[in-house]
A and B are shown apart, each in its own frame.
Chain A
């Protein structure tokens, strides 16, 4: 059994850099009522659960395999399996191609990405993040500074945190609010657009 700290490190170092390629891969093969974030998280869960027993030798190949199998299962459940769909799933080159261009970014690139992520935040969100990161303000202090409630600060921070993660790991970094009401399948597809 791999210990938790090691699993965490492995996940951050080997799996998260694949998120951009993985997201593209999933989005193009999204089943009708599929939600991109749900599917991606499910793939991470499966990868981590297996890795806990032993880290795979090739993280990329492993993540790809898990992703592909999971999408096939979802398609089967939705009775969407068709020859064309399966062929799409099997176009491995797409996934691995993206990986080549996306190779482990060096420090400068990561910093550049982090800065770009901040620049993409909505102004108030960005200010709350700045208070936290640069000035080290607690939630209470930030609330006092901006004249809002603690809940608001917390919400801005959590939104900012998630947007930064989405952007840096390779998406659009738009601030998204969780869906409160489960919508009908058709419109859920639209919501899962990043």
Chain B
């Protein structure tokens, strides 16, 4: 097969994989095709990468009507690129057209557009215990005999399930599992967990996080509950997140490197963020990783892992942006670092560490 023919085959696979009718059998066939030759992988990954870049235009609601009608072919990739089409009005019109057809993603588009951090929930809100809605088929309240596993603050635990899957629980996390039925189910009552799900033909694996339903076949991903907000980050495989109460009728599928943040019926999808996904999973090695987070946000993260809580006394100090990777359990070292790097003062009073500007 010539390179072009392989490309065409890869493109066909990609097109079909996006269809809602994509089945586990086709997934297996794709895997066989990919494994058959490195050239298949190369062609597939290449096209997938570029196709996803094009996704971003749709996701951002950008692409002025000019783009879709075909502007004059002036663009020269060499270097004289045409200016970024900042035609606000046509963009808004296109965005609102698009929004109308995708009500579930309204919050997504808006959040992206206005660059708010609405999805970083007020940390003072405590996670409510799970109250899984009765939705379509398999989702129901956990059976009374569901196994419960929980971790304390600052602890981690690894659970091996009967089907060969593994769940890693992060700090202050509680899950319930029910593996016996046709659908393997886990309820994430609170906290954060990493799932390494064994592929079993015909038996889906479903994670309930509050009203959100996350369905996979054979996959590696993490789920975090933070108040009303649920964040799903994908490491490997495909993950389907259903709109609460709608089952598979209204769902979003995300891929490795993608992150979904869902709150009630709104979902925000961030594609192609493998670095962020890695940062989100640093806890598996006992670390926390930040990139351009405020000190306030960083402190909130540390507080998940430690009984000794950081308090930032000044609004100014809380707004400082920082990045880095830190040992989650060593909050004192972090405080000392803040002192060395930013000149902030810290005072230890019982089980509080108070950080201040003066």
Using a CB–CB cutoff of 8 Å, the interface residues on chain A facing chain B are 3-5, 8-9, 11-13, 16, 20, 35, 37-38, 40-42, 44-45, 48-49, 101, 108-121, 123, 126-127, 129-130, 132-136, 138-139, 154, 157-159, 161-162, 164-165, 167-170, 176, 178-179
Contact = CB atoms under 8 A, between A and B. Distances in A.
Contacts of B8: 158, 162, 178
B54 A129 contact: yes
21 contacts: A3-B236, A41-B42, A44-B39, A44-B42, A45-B37, A101-B79, A111-B60, A112-B81, A114-B53, A114-B54, A114-B57, A115-B57, A119-B70, A132-B18, A133-B54, A134-B68, A135-B98, A161-B14, A164-B50, A165-B51, A167-B77
Decide if the interface of chain B is mainly helix, strand, loop or mixed. helix
Given A49-B38, A115-B63, A12 B4 contact: no
Contacts, number: 162
Interface in B25-82: 37-39, 41-43, 45-47, 49-51, 53-58, 60, 62-63, 66-68, 70-71, 73, 75, 77, 79, 81-82
B235 interface: yes
Contact of B45 (A3, A8, A133): A8
B60 to A, nearest CB: 8
A178 B4 contact: yes
Decide if the interface of chain A is mainly helix, strand, loop or mixed. helix
Contacts of B102: 136
B142 interface: no
A10 B70 CA distance: 33
Contacts of B84: 108, 111-112
B210 to A, nearest CB: 26
B257 interface: yes
Contacts of A135: 98, 101
B75 A11 contact: no
Given A123-B70, A154-B12, A161-B14, A111 B3 contact: no
Contacts of B53: 110, 113-114, 164, 168
Nearest to B40: A45
Contact of B50 (A120, A138, A169): A169
Contacts of A48: 38, 41-42
B45 A118 contact: no
B6 interface: yes
A45 B41 CA distance: 8
Contacts of A157: 11, 15
A91 B323 CA distance: 41
Among A48, A170, A178, the most chain B Cβ lie within 10 Å of the Cβ of A178
Contact of B58 (A12, A127, A134): A134
Contact of A5 (B5, B14, B57, B235): B235
B85 interface: yes
Counting chain B residues whose Cβ lies within 8 A of the other chain, the interface size class is 35 or more
Contacts of A136: 101-102
A20 B45 CA distance: 17
Given A5-B235, A170-B77, A119 B51 contact: no
Given A48-B38, A161-B11, A178-B4, A169 B46 contact: yes
Contacts of B42: 11, 41, 44-45, 48
Contact of A120 (B38, B63, B73): B73
B70 A126 contact: yes
A153 B135 CA distance: 35
Nearest to A135: B101
Nearest to A157: B15
